[in-house]
Amino acid sequence: MIKTSLIAASLALASLGAAVSTPASAQTRIYVQTAPPAVRAEAVPQPRRGKVWVPGHWDWRGRQYVWVAGTHVRARPGYYYSEPVWVQRGDRWERRGGAWARGDRDRDGIPNRADRDRDGDGVPNRFDNNPNNPNRR
């Protein structure tokens, strides 16, 4: 009897863990006939240690657009965050949800661990006093 209840409890926990760990890429696609409103201006707060700022965006809820305010989320080492965007496809608009992607933060085709010029200003990181500033003077 106890053995059966332990097995049932472990199966319930395993199924709960599977439901919680559903990847963000499994989001449903949203198609809308009307264009989203212009993006609202938001004051970006000071950076927080171990956090990434996710800017606000328009989301579709039922029959109208709703503004979702920006927020800080926990950073994931080795990943960068792509914010949600609306893309026009013919006469419809498709929402592509925000997602974490691995590797190439500056999207220059070189993995970050091998990137010798993070900001693309032509000066190797080891000689650049500010390797994240593309406007070197």
pLDDT in tens, 67-122: 999 999 998 887 888 888 899 989 999 988 888 877 666 666 666 666 677 677 77
Q: Which of 55, 53, 105, 98 is nearest to 79 (CA)?
A: 105
Instruction: For residue 9, tell me if it sits in a domain.
Output: no
127: its two tokens: 């000689």
The residue type of 12 is A
pTM for the whole structure: 0.55
Give a yes or no: residue 35 inside a domain: yes
What is the overall mean pLDDT for the chain? 75
> CA-CA distances (angstroms) from residue 21 to 30, 78, 118?
22, 19, 32
Identify whether 47 is part of a domain.
Answer: yes
What domain count does the chain have?
A: 1
48 belongs to a structural domain: yes
Asked if the structure places residue 86 within a domain, the reply is yes
- 6 falls within a domain: no
